[in-house]
Structure 1
Amino acid sequence: MQLPQIRLQSTMAKIAIETVPAKLEIQQPPAELEIEQSPARLTIRTTPSKLTIDQTKAWEDMNLEHIFRRIEKFAEQGYNDWLDGLARVSRQGDELMRIEDGGNPIAEQAKENSETPMYEFNIGWVPSPFSVHISYTPADVDIRFEARKPVIRARTHPPVIRYMPGEVAIRLAQRPSLHIDVVI
């Protein structure tokens, strides 16, 4: 026995989606920037160093002093010798004036006036130690520095934004269907 058959034939629905993507454009104009930098101020003051070497005493020790100093020294020595001679003549005159007191002042004075004095000399250094005097004053440097801050002027520009929204279109590309057949 043959039974009737029911045949179902269906078609699914299809959806079509069409999209137009969104567009976003961003442009950033550069900022305007002005910078002024004044130069720093630098001041340097220097006091020069000073070196003094005094070798006058060393030259005098070697008997090589300056002529003006030599003349001054000889004049002083001559004056002192004149005073010593004056004192000696005065003393000898007083001795002769008191000849009656006894003694032999004439012979003693003749002996004193005719003999050269004995000079003593031991080891000597020419020039004498530490006769050269050295004096040094170091240089003095005063440095002053004044920094100046920069002057900065900046103008910003806002970004330029262009936005185009996207679109979505939805439609039915294929309609659903159901077909029913009965086969005997």
Structure 2
Amino acid sequence: MNIPQIRMQSTFAQIGIETSRGEMQIQQRHADMQMEQPMAKLMIDRRPPRLTIDQTRAFEDANLKSVFRMTEDAAQAGYQQAMNTIARISQEGDELMMIEHGFSALHSQAERNSLPPMADINIGWIPSHNSVKINYDPGETRINWKTRPVNIEVTPNKPVINYYPGKTNINLAQKNTLNIDFEI
């Protein structure tokens, strides 16, 4: 027995989608910057320290004098000795003038002039106390400076943006079909 048959063949429709991605490029240049730092002004005013040591008196006490000082001292000692001798002779003359008062001037003068004077003994090469004069001036240092501000100029650069939008293409890649066959 033959049964009628219907055959159906179908294909579905297919959609084709093509996409290209969007692209974005951003370039940011560094900001243009100009910086200037003027030098600070530094001024130093200085008076150096000074140390003075005067050993003249210590050398004189040790009898290490200059020729001029030794000559001056010898002249002064000679003058003083001459004045002392004049005073002694004048005093002895005055004593002899007063002989009428019963004073035995000759006896006392002979006794005084016959005895040697007491010698002054001293160590001459040791300087006396505080014979070295020390003077110290610490000096002075004055520092003065003037700072100057930093000059900064900044020019920002805008970013460069390139944008390429994405695309989507939709098409019909395959049509739908329906085939119907039948047999009797």
> Per the shorter chain, which TM-score range?
0.7 to 0.9
Mapped partners of 2:41, 2:101: distance in 1: 95
1:104 and 2:104 matched? yes
User: What amino acid does structure 1 have at the position aligned with 2:14?
Assistant: K
**Equivalent position of 1:31 in the other structure:** 31
Q: Is the 8 A contact 2:63 2:124 kept in 1?
A: no
User: What amino acid does structure 1 have at the position aligned with 2:56?
Assistant: T
1:11-48: CA deviation from partner (whole Å, max 9, x where unpaired) = 44433211122222223344333333322222222212
Q: What residue ranges of structure 2 are gaps of 5+ in the alignment? A: none
Tell me, what secondary structure is at the counterpart of 2:33?
A: strand
Mapped partners of 1:114, 1:56: distance in 2: 40
Tell me, what secondary structure is at the counterpart of 2:121?
A: coil
Tell me, what secondary structure is at the counterpart of 2:86?
A: helix
Tell me, what secondary structure is at the counterpart of 1:98?
A: helix
Q: Is the 8 A contact 2:62 2:125 kept in 1?
A: no
Q: What residue ranges of structure 1 are gaps of 5+ in the alignment? A: none
**Residue 110 and residue 8 in structure 1: after superposition, are their counterparts in 2 closer, same or farther (change >3 A)?**
farther
> How far did 1:77 drift?
2.9
Give the 5 Å matches for 1:18-167. 18-121=18-121, 126-167=126-167
TM-score (norm. length: structure 1): 0.76
Percent of residue pairs bearing the same amino acid type: 46
> How far did 1:54 drift?
0.8
Tell me, what secondary structure is at the counterpart of 2:93?
A: helix
Mapped partners of 1:101, 1:12: distance in 2: 180
Mapped partners of 1:96, 1:64: distance in 2: 45
**Residue 88 and residue 183 in structure 1: after superposition, are their counterparts in 2 closer, same or farther (change >3 A)?**
farther
User: What amino acid does structure 2 have at the position aligned with 1:132?
Assistant: V
**Residue 23 and residue 108 in structure 1: after superposition, are their counterparts in 2 closer, same or farther (change >3 A)?**
same
User: What amino acid does structure 1 have at the position aligned with 2:52?
Assistant: T
User: Which deviates further from its counterpart, 172-181 or 148-157?
Assistant: 172-181
> How far did 1:105 drift?
0.8
1:128-174: CA deviation from partner (whole Å, max 9, x where unpaired) = 45432332323433233323223222322212222221111223323
> How far did 1:180 drift?
7.0
1:46-83: CA deviation from partner (whole Å, max 9, x where unpaired) = 21221212111121112122233333333433343333
Equivalences, count: 184
